Structure 1
Amino acid sequence: MESDIVQEIFAVEEKLKASMLSSDTVALTDLLSDALIFINHFGQRVSKQDDIALHRSGLLSIESIELRDFQVVPQGNIALVHVNADIKGKYDGAKANGVFAFSRVWLKQNNKWQLISAQSTVIS
C-alpha cells in the first residue's frame, strides 16, 4: 500500500514538473488545490490563482527542472514530499536560476491527488 502511494506521488510530481515547464495552466488547475498556499523563497504567500496567473501571463518561463534527493513520506491520504531542484528559467525577461529545497504536501480526495501546501528555500 505504502509503495503504491509513493508511486502515485512520483507520477503526480512528474505531471507537476511537466506542467510547470510548459506553463500548462489546464494541468496546473487540476493538480493544485483551490486551498493551495505556496510560500516561495522570498517568504511570500502565493495562492493557486496567483501561481496560474503567473504562468498564463508569460512572466514566468521555466526552461529546466532537475530534481534530486527525492523523499516521499506517506501519511494516510496525505503525502509529504521533500526534494531539491535545480531550476533554470526567466522571470520578467531576467534570468531566474537557482537551487532550491522544496517541501510539498499532497492531499488525496475523491481518488485524486492535489497539491495543498508547498514551501521553497534557496540553497546557497
Structure 2
Amino acid sequence: METKQHIADLENRLTEAMKTGNVAALDVLLADTMLFTNHNGHLVTKQDELDAHNKGNIEIFEIKISAQLIEVYGDMGIVSVIKDISGNYNGHTNVGVYRYTRVWQQTGDNWQVVAGHCSKVLV
C-alpha cells in the first residue's frame, strides 16, 4: 500500500478512536512521547489524552473532515487537515472549525503520532 494512503487510513482510525473513546486504539496510534498542542495552546501528552477518554471528559458528537494534505519524508508523515467538530470537553460544548497538523513516525512496521498542533480556523 502506498505510504500516503496508509497514513490516510491511520488518520481515519485515529478519528474513529477519538469519536468512540476507544482508548486501546488510541494507545496503539499515539507514541508514548507524543506532544500535542491543543486549540487553547495547552500541551497534551499521550497519557493526558488517554486519561481524558478514560474519564469520559471528551465526547465527540460529529466530525466533518475536509482539505486533508499528506506529505511523506522518509519515516515521517505530515498531515494537515481541517475538521469541523462538535463535542463536549470537560463539560463545555465546543463547536468549530479547526486545522490539525500531525506528525506520524514509522518505527518498524508501526506508525504513530509523535507530535501535533490544533488551531481554530476563523471563518
Name the TM-score class by shorter chain: over 0.9
Letter in 1 for 2:37: I
- Residue 22 of structure 1 is matched in structure 2 by 20
Post-superposition shift, 1:108? 0.5
Gaps of 5+ in 2: none
- Residue 122 of structure 1 is matched in structure 2 by 120
Deviations 1:23-57 (A, max 9, x none): 00000000000010000111111100001101111
Q: Secondary structure at the match of 1:97?
A: strand
Deviations 1:65-90 (A, max 9, x none): 11100000000110000010001111
- Residue 81 of structure 2 is matched in structure 1 by 83
| Matches of 1:92 and 1:54, distance apart in 2 | 8
| Matches of 1:34 and 1:94, distance apart in 2 | 27
Provide the identity percentage.
30
- Residue 55 of structure 2 is matched in structure 1 by 57
Structure 2 length as normaliser, TM-score?
0.96
Gaps of 5+ in 1: none
Q: Pick from 70, 85, 107: which aligns with 1:109?
A: 107
Deviations 1:95-116 (A, max 9, x none): 1111101110000002111000
Q: Pick from 28, 46, 49: which aligns with 1:48?
A: 46
Q: Pairwise CA RMSD of aligned residues?
A: 1.0
Q: Secondary structure at the match of 1:58?
A: coil
| Matches of 1:94 and 1:112, distance apart in 2 | 35
| Matches of 1:54 and 1:117, distance apart in 2 | 18
| Matches of 1:43 and 1:94, distance apart in 2 | 17
